[in-house]
Structure 1
Amino acid sequence: MPSKSSARLAALTVAAVCSAASTVVLVPSAHAASVRVHDVQGTTRLSPYAGQQVTDVAGIVTGTRTYGSSKGFWIQDPSPDADPATSEGIFVFTSSTPKVTVGDAVTVSGTVSEYVPGGTSSGNQSLTEITRPTVTVVSSGNTVPAATRITARSVPRAYTPEADGGSVNTLPLRPSRYALDYYESLEGMNVQVTDTRVVGATDPYTELWVTVKPEEHPSAGGGTVYGSYDSQNTGRLQIQSLGAVADFPDATVGDTLAGTTAGPLDYNQYGGYTLVANRLGTLRDGGTERETTRAQQRDELAVATYNVENLDPSDDTFAAHAEAITHNLASPDIVSLEEIQDDNGAVNDGTVAADETMAKLIDAIVAAGGPRYDWRSVDPADGEDGGEPGGNIRQVFLFNPERVSFTDRAGGDATTATEVTKVRGKAALTLSPGRVDPTDEAWENSRKPLAGEFVFRGKTVFVIANHFASKGGDQGLTSQYQPPTRGSETQRHLQATAVNAFVKDILATQKNADVVTLGDINDFEFSTTTKLLEDGGALWSAVKSLPRDERYSYVYQGNSQVLDQILVSPSIRRGGHFRYDSVHVNAEFHDQISDHDPQVLRFRP
């Protein structure tokens, strides 16, 4: 799954642009006599009439979409058949503003197509549509077919049939057994949910996520925890609106959409099955508040990681980030910052220095009542570290010089690797700050790890700041391919192996060295990426010390999940004198200043 909603085009608030590349024609064009909606939908995900002309498909208009690139309307047959696998609703794609009204009885003639939001390469399921329609209004003011209630009882516990990585498109739908089959059997129909808890905050695209199963892996903040690849959380459903954007609620995780939310069930690129509401429930505040962690004690070293989401001098979030660092994080001794951009942000003119960005952040922290931090980093080579074009994101060490000192060893640059050496019997870095194996293929078009030596109360602590490759391009949980392919893992596995090898070099030189490896790992605590970081016992992900309902730093499609981690060497773990906190200040909130929650580790070296 992509870790950045900003990768989306802001203009696309509904399904992706309909194009030849995203429409699958499965059989040669032909002509079919008058058929019913459930005949067109069929008993699999693909219509038996795909590519054919159909005549006089009858139904009642249940919703119209008059905006965006996917204009059209939904119809539903008021006389359903007895087969629960066949949907009674379907979307009619008009490409221009539809000339029908909810409650119209219509007949539609046109071509049946299977539209794949995002294109066939996305792996998404397809949406059965009638395209190039001829529409006849038979009567108006008819009663709209009653909405099918989606409830905790109606949605199966099992998520999807397994296809060994193949497509589930041609498998018979079993809506009483699999959640994705159940939702597919309602595709295009008028559905409703009642008193649903919000598990994904309102985003800039006026959409949110709810669950009809509030007891399904609940998080401490009222969300739904994604704790394994087999716990996809079947109760989640995306909500969009057919109404005005201004009327869409600003919801935070833990809130409730009280009463009835109803409308046609769509399928789109950015969340799969989506209730496109023509009736929205009333937002009820769930009382979720931003967390504040405790301050470190005198003999505790506090180390944090915080993804500040493409921070550059043009942003208006410096004061808010400063408040978060100073108050919510209680001014940690060391903060690994991810996504610090260069001094002119996304302007692509060769600038790579981030002095202005960091000066502005440090001044904002002082203004918020925090310490005057110092900082260290290594400027990337222009355009070589991925992220927003021209932004040149990198990791930065922010540290409080009144509590810790940084051991400077000059010579680190974008392409020179720091190494491990022995000084007076103990491990040391040849370059501090320095980059870990920056020319290795693992870091191609990706952020290189930043390593540095710190001294706290006379003891050396090695800190390695990371920002692994994103999940962009992975198939979604609602993919037609089950289980979905996570292609982005390949690079993260290489990155994890490289960082693990570097930590092992430190520990081979000094067995009891204190090493903290942290950052936006872009992968879960149960993932192979994490297992590779932990290989041989060199590291351990300390987020696993938390109760399961607290293990999350990011919310994606209604799943609260771990992407940001702090991993520790055996000396820190064995000592038992550490405390971990995932400080929930962003991911659950509609007015977030970053999409990541910071993490804090406190320990006694």
Structure 2
Amino acid sequence: MKSFLSLLFLSISLFVSNASAQKERAINAVQGDKNASPFEGQTAQLSGIVTARLKSGFFIQTPDEKTDDNPATSEGIYVFTGSEPTGDATVGNLVTVTGTITEFRPKAEPASLPITELSIKKGADTIKVVSKENTLPKPIVLTAVDFSSNQIDELERYEGMRVAVQALTVVAPTKGRIDDKTATSISDGVFYVVLKGLQRPFRSAGMDVYDYYFSKDKEELKKNFPKLSLFDSNPETLRIDSDDQLGAQAIEVTSNAEIKNLVGVMHYGYQKYTILPDANAKPEISNLKKATPLPAPSERQFSIAGMNLENFFDDVDDPSIKEDIVSSEAFEKRLKKISAAIRLFMRSPDVIGTNETENLAALKRLAERINSDSVASGEPNPKYEAYLTEGNDGRGIDVGFLVKSARVSVVEVKQFGKDEKFDDPTKKDEQNLNDRPPLMLRATIVGAKNNQPFAFTVIVNHLKSLLGYETDRVRQKKKIQAEFLARFVQARQKADPNERIILIGDFNAFQFPDGILDVIGTIKGAPASKEQVLLPSEDLVNPDLTDLVDLINESQRYSYVYDGNAQVLDHMIANDRMKKHLAGFGYSRLNADFPESYRNDPNRVERFSDHDPAIAYFSFDEKATVKQ
């Protein structure tokens, strides 16, 4: 009898559980008015009109006449299938779907908002078509009011719903996947926008708000670092994945382009609310940006530039490094593009500091190409000469110089810091501090009219990247690199107070503290306080240096665009003796604002790299007016 009662109780429990599982819930109830669903982990049956199809799922939305009229709850949801949806999930079909309510957060993005999904298990859950060819729910028209809270979850209430935007401004161009071996790219259709009328989003000082909110040490940070500022991550930025819907075509746009009448489904990814345009959408696109040549220096001026050439590998196998062996055709294309950029748009700077060059042979071939192209175009031969000393980088990329020997006389080129070590917390032995050790050029240039040599020193740098920045190892390495460089410059200033010094290159750091470190502040001699950053540095430089980016218009303070945020990684930092001769500074807009697809065209200069070159003009006379 006892066994029978147990069996009967089990049967009743299973029946009740199964009945509960099949109980239909409204999408708005599942979404709720918070970030996470109140029914997370439970099975549910939802009904809605299919509004979009992706490679691994589809979206459904409540018909307009059945919404709850609560602006805080979304009427749409993503149904995850794991593979391309069946024909039952055709756009316009009203369907009933069973599955498990989940809050999805990619493993690679622990500091990210979750996405409420209905997850279908093949063979267990069902999609039932109720009716076909239904009118799609009317899209919500986004306006500036929707972004007024400036909170990272301010669009949660539209998650999974159809939305429309009347006018957008592109703030980061269409991205793509690069094949270095062929110097080609394939568009991924992703770009970033803001509503027309909103300002372009920039990376600002402070710890990223996502890293802060999702940190296990949040309360400790709040207590120990009362002056710690936060970067709000620019929640007004929208990510557009133009070809994510099945059948949709990638949209290729530059920064500053204008887009009208974009309609699609609101999703979320990579810490950004993301619009997936309808497969049949035909938005109006205008105002595509074009590259503009820089002004040529006057006869009483000379120019210095910093260029990240992005994986500038040649077509010769070097067995000593792990490299991508570029095809001869691809290397020819890269030589052509970079040569044109330097000659026609940067006006052949007198000194160019380069980053990410494989070796001296590759840099020499670039110098030869610029020289021959100049002569073939009827221009004077700049007689560029290449200088590069191998460093410690595992991929074999190094810093180097292209020097216009027709005008500049080299006194010395010397690498320093190659043998410097640091205590790596993940290793037993000390490790190399400088993967790409700084390279110093001492040179003179003769000024027009007086024929007097003008002496100056350029130090080209490529500091540790931001990859792995969440780890103690990378943070310590970047901190010690900054202090090493600061001490080196200070020693030179102390030895010769009249030496004109400028540091250039990719510093992989912003011009302000990021809440973790203050790399540039340390190098300048104005480090952030111990209340402002987790790993402060001492003041090692006096007199202080000047980051030239701080002197120009705020709208131009960027050399790189990452996840929609314009930011500075490429700096020019001058001591007072050099700054007195500054006549102008800026960036040659050739890469960061242009789509990755432009890399494929050998007849245009844009997108030979992902960084914009930095360039400064100096006068032989002191106290020149700085032009932005």
Tell me, yes or no, if structure 1 residue 49 matches structure 2 residue 60.
no
Give the C-alpha shift of residue 120 in structure 1. 5.5
Aligned letter for 2:506?
Answer: D
Alpha-carbon distance in structure 1 between the residues aligned to 2:248 and 2:76: 28
CA distance in structure 2 between the aligned counterparts of 1:486 and 1:266, rounded to whole angstroms: 33
Q: Secondary structure at the match of 1:185?
A: helix
Match of 1:501 in 2: 487
Please point out which of 442, 452, 465 is paired with 1:453: 442
Q: Which runs of 5+ in 1 are unaligned?
A: 1-29, 159-177, 219-223, 342-353, 409-431, 476-484
For structure 2, the residue ranges without an aligned partner over 5 or more in a row are 1-19, 177-186, 207-230, 315-325, 375-380, 424-431, 447-452, 526-540, 599-606, 621-628
**2:116 aligns to what?**
128
Q: Does 1:84 align with 2:71?
A: yes
Q: Does 1:403 align with 2:395?
A: no
Asked if structure 1 preserves the Cα contact closer than 8 Å seen for 2:171 and 2:194, the reply is: no
Distance of aligned partners of 1:500 and 1:216 in 2 relative to their CA distance in 1, 3 Å threshold: farther
Q: Is the 8 A contact 1:460 1:514 kept in 2?
A: yes
Task: Name the structure 2 match of 1:275.
Answer: 275
Q: Distance in 2 between matches of 1:474 and 1:72?
A: 33
d(CA) in 1 for partners of 2:26, 2:472? 38
Give the 5 Å matches for 1:298-317. 298-313=299-314, 314=326, 315=331, 316-317=333-334
1:546 alignment counterpart: 552
Structure 2 residue 208 is the aligned partner of structure 1 residue 191: no
Structure 1 SS opposite 2:52: strand
Match of 1:374 in 2: 385
SS for the counterpart of 1:247 is coil
Using the TM superposition, give the Cα deviation of residue 294 of structure 1 relative to its aligned residue in structure 2, in angstroms: 2.0
Out of 59, 75, 83, the position equivalent to 1:96 is: 83
Question: Structure 1: how far apart are the matches of 2:73 and 2:275?
Answer: 18
Q: Is the 8 A contact 1:189 1:264 kept in 2?
A: yes
The Cα offsets for residues 520-569 of structure 1, whole Å up to 9 and x where unpaired, read as 11222223222111114432100111111111111222222211110001
Q: What secondary structure does 1:330 align onto? A: coil
- Structure-2 residue corresponding to 1:74: 59
2:603 alignment partner in structure 1: none
Code of the residue aligned with 2:456 in structure 1: it is: V
Contact 2:170 2:194 in 1 (8 A): no
CA contact (8 A) 1:122 1:473 kept: no
Letter in 1 for 2:168: T
Tell me if structure 2 keeps the 8 A contact 1:217–1:549. Answer: no
* Contact 2:49–2:134 (CA under 8 A) maintained in structure 1: yes
Which secondary structure does the structure 1 equivalent of 2:584 belong to? strand
* Counterpart position of 2:576: 570
In 1, Cα distance between equivalents of 2:581 and 2:247: 51
Alignment-derived partner of residue 49 in structure 2: 60
Instruction: Answer yes or no: is the 8 Å Cα contact 2:360–2:388 preserved in 1.
Output: no
State the superposition RMSD in angstroms. Answer: 2.5
- Matches of 1:466 and 1:557 in 2, distance apart? 24
Q: Is the 8 A contact 2:364 2:386 kept in 1?
A: no
Aligned partner (choices 251, 273, 276) of residue 253 of structure 2: 251
2:147 aligns to what SS in structure 1?
coil
In the alignment, the residues of structure 2 paired with residue 445 and residue 46 of structure 1 have an alpha-carbon distance, to the nearest angstrom, of 45
Residues 1:334 and 1:438: Cα distance change in structure 2 (over 3 Å): farther
Partner of 1:559: 565
Letter aligned with residue 142 of structure 1: N
SS in 1 for 2:383: coil
CA–CA distance in structure 2, aligned partners of residues 487 and 209 of structure 1: 32
Q: What is the aligned partner in structure 1 of residue 212 from structure 2?
A: none
Q: 1:144 to 1:486 in 2, by over 3 A?
A: farther
Q: How far does residue 576 in structure 1 lie from its aligned partner after superposition?
A: 5.0
Aligned-residue offset at 1:226? 3.6
1:286 aligns with 2:276: no
CA distance in 2, matches of 1:572, 1:212: 39
Q: CA 1:445/1:53 → structure 2, altered by over 3 Å: closer, same or farther?
A: farther
Q: Which amino acid letter does the alignment assign opposite residue 295 of structure 1?
A: A
Task: Give 2:26's aligned amino acid.
Answer: R
Cα-to-partner distance string for 1:337-367 (whole Å, 9 max, x where unaligned): 11112xxxxxxxxxxxx23312321122123
1:500 is matched by which residue type in structure 2? A
Secondary structure at 2:486's aligned position in 1? Answer: helix
Q: What is the identity, as a one-letter code, of the residue corresponding to 1:188?
A: G
> Which shows bigger deviation, 187-196 or 563-572?
187-196
Q: Structure 1 residue 474: deviation in Å?
A: 5.3
In structure 2, what is the equivalent of residue 139 of structure 1? Answer: 131
Aligned residues of 2:591 and 2:610 also touching (Cα < 8 A): yes
Q: Please list, as runs of the form range in 1=range in 2, the aligned pairs for 1:30-45 lying within 5 A after superposition.
A: 31=21, 33-45=23-35
Give me the whole-angstrom Cα distance separating, in 1, the residues matched to 2:283 and 2:49: 27
User: Which string of whole-angstrom CA distances, capped at 9 and with x for unpartnered residues, describes residues 11-68 of structure 1?
Assistant: xxxxxxxxxxxxxxxxxxx9584322122222322222222222x2111111111x3x
Counterparts of residues 460-471 of structure 1 (less than 5 Å)? 460-471=455-466
How far does the alpha carbon of each residue in 1:70-95 deviate from its partner, in whole angstroms, 9 at most, with x for none?
A: x1101112222243332221111111
Deviation at 1:297, TM superposition (A): 3.0
Task: Provide the C-alpha distance between the structure 1 equivalents of 2:247 and 2:547, rounded to a whole number of angstroms.
Answer: 41
How far residue 437 of structure 1 moved from its aligned partner, in angstroms, is: 5.5
Relative to the length of structure 1, the TM-score reads 0.76
2:608 is the alignment partner of 1:593:
yes
- Give the fraction of aligned pairs with identical amino acids, expressed as a percent: 28
The correspondence for 1:323, drawn from 337, 340, 352, is 340
The offset of 1:439, in angstroms, is 2.2
Structure 2 letter corresponding to 1:129: E
* C-alpha displacement of 1:318: 1.1
- What's the CA shift string for 1:174-212, capped at 9, x where partnerless? xxxx2x222222111111212211111112243343434
1:512 corresponds, among 483, 487, 498, to 498
Letter in 1 for 2:172: G
Mapped contact 1:489–1:529 kept (Cα < 8 A)? no
CA contact (8 A) 2:588 2:614 kept: yes
Cα distance in 1 for partners of 2:281, 2:466 equals 32
Contact 1:375 1:397 in 2 (8 A): yes
Deviates more, 1:315-324 or 1:243-252: 243-252
Offset, 1:320:
0.7
Counterpart CA distance in 2 for 1:190 and 1:373 is 56
1:201 is aligned to: 173
Q: Conserved in 1, the CA contact under 8 Å of 2:308 and 2:355?
A: yes
User: What residue in structure 2 maps to residue 436 of structure 1?
Assistant: 417
For 1:577 and 1:552, the matched residues in 2 are separated by 19
How is 1:128-167 mapped onto 2 (pairs within 5 angstroms)? 128-131=116-119, 132=121, 133-158=125-150
Q: CA deviation at 1:448?
A: 2.1
User: Which 10-residue stretch deviates more, 198-207 or 558-567?
Assistant: 198-207
Contact 1:93 1:129 in 2 (8 A): yes
Give how far 1:468 is off: 1.7
2:533 is aligned to none
Larger Rg: 2
Match of 2:199 among 201, 217, 223: 217
Q: Between 288-297 and 186-195, report the one with greater CA deviation.
A: 288-297
Match for residue 583 of structure 1 among 581, 584, 588:
588
Task: Please say if residues 500 and 538 of structure 1, whose CA atoms lie closer than 8 Å, have aligned partners that are also in contact.
Answer: no
Instruction: Measure the CA separation in 2 of the matches of 1:35 and 1:488.
Output: 48
Q: Deviations over 1:267-325 (max 9, x none)?
A: 223x5321111154434331522122222233433110001110122332111101111
| Structure-2 change in CA distance of 1:157 and 1:110 (3 Å) | closer
TM-score after normalising by structure 2: 0.73
Is 1:112 equivalent to 2:94 in the alignment? Answer: no
Number of aligned residue pairs: give it. Answer: 491
Is the contact between residue 293 and residue 581 of structure 1 (CA under 8 Å) also seen in structure 2? no
